[in-house]
Amino acid sequence: MTTPPVDFTIKELGERTIASPLQQRVGDDADRYFVDGDSRIYLDDHVAHDQARSPTLELAGPRKNLYFDPATTRIGIVTCGGLCPGLNDVIRGLVMQAWHRYGVRHVYGFRYGYRGFIPEHGHDVIELDPEAVSEIHETGGTILGSSRGEQNESQIVDRLQQMGINILFVIGGDGTIRGALAIAKEAERRSTKIAVVGIPKTIDNDIGYIDQSFGFETAYSEAVESIYGAHNEAKAALNGIGLVKLMGRESGSIACHATLATSHVNFTLIPESPYDADVEAGFLRALTQRLERRHHAVVVVAEGVGQSYLQQEEKQHDASGNLKFIDIGLHLKDRMAAHLNAAGMPHGIKYIDPSYLIRSVPARPPDSVYCWRLAQNAVHAAMCGKTEMVVGAWHGRMVHVPMTCAIAARKNVDILSDLWLSVLESTDQPVDFKD
């Protein structure tokens, strides 16, 4: 990621004057356990970079002193947007960390995203404690429910004030984080001390300044099973084609990683690589040549491929304002069939779209570990009064990232990177289908 001239300073609600209860647990190891408030890591770890001028990110972790008194702190948790493996793990981690490590006894879950704050929708608030969340990480989805779409931040802050909530944890993608930032700004305008901390959720792995989003590893691992099925179907038919559409509106990360994990994919199409009529024609020629040589092929396509090429004049949007995509998978299926029919080549195409199955499964162990660490560090940060920030890993270290930076730009697959080069080597597809 190119180093931009941005400010990575984390906003705080005020001076930390309350001794952390964690000091009693660690005893003589306190100096090693707690993070110095000035500890930071470089944004750019490239050895050729001038580190004297490189921006830095604040390290996450427990601090010796808190802003909020655990005895009087009230916490709210909300999940927004589409499902993602690990949502329940994060909820559970937040509750367990706040309850057992800090002694917070008032934790509330808001139902169905930001709608849950608005009285007119009539959604009950759930009281959360260790018993309520003890086994939720064993199932997919979110026990709080979710929704898309903006809600009035003034009404949300009204509800937070009425309930005396000091900390709000928001689990969601870039649209959700924008909403969280608006909530924090409204609270600040009212001089209300509410820490708003985000845990970024994007199954596409496209939020900036974070190594990897929770649920991503589970997502591409689950996608591998669909590719294996597509490969078996393709080999079982003369000129069989297994076509798998995977998630990835603007980023082809899942498609790339699932491709590399199987080594059965012959063509991988991602949004970052141009797609138009000429590319499509080149792809169809390359597909035909593959079938002539090997009599089967596996194609993986990310959902965001070719949308500017496919979109009609009448564009539609969902409740969050996201453009509703035309199904590139069905389009490719039809185009491949028409092309092969015109060439007089017998074939069979099996189209697989596992998206809703992938995003609703429980997190796999590596993701569960990551979710737990995100939750722990989110609670550490919030109890210190840090706000308008998200937690994530950067260069393998847990860090705090300002919300404004996290949503400033999407993280995409660099088609000049070693990741994409590895995909090209694995699939043996042309670098440019126009050639």
Q: Which of 174, 204, 206, 367 is catalytic?
A: 204
Which of 124, 97, 106, 94 shows the shortest CA–CA distance to 197? Answer: 94
Beta bridge partners of residue 349, listed in sequence order: 241
| Max CA distance (Å), the chain | 78
How would you write the chain as a 3-class SS string?
CCCCCCCCCCEECCCCCEECCHHHHHHHHHHHHCCCCCCEEECCCCCCCCHHHCCEEEECCCCCEECCCCCCCCEEEEECCCCCCCHHHHHHHHHHHHHHHCCCCCEEEECCHHHHHCHHHCCCEEEECHHHHCCHHHCCCCCCCCCCCCCCHHHHHHHHHHHCCCEEEEEECHHHHHHHHHHHHHHHHCCCCCEEEEEECCCCCCECCCCCCCCHHHHHHHHHHHHHHHHHHHHCCCCEEEEEEECCCCCCHHHHHHHHHHCCCCEEECCCCCCCHHHHHHHHHHHHHHHHHHCEEEEEEECCCCHHHHCCCCCCECCCCCECCCCHHHHHHHHHHHHHHHCCCCCEEEEECCHHHHHCCCCCHHHHHHHHHHHHHHHHHHHCCEECEEEEEECCEEEEEEHHHHCCCECCCCCCCHHHHHHHHHHCCCCCCCC
Query: Is there a catalytic annotation at residue 334?
Result: no
Residue appearing with tokens 């162990």: 365
Catalytically active residues are 204
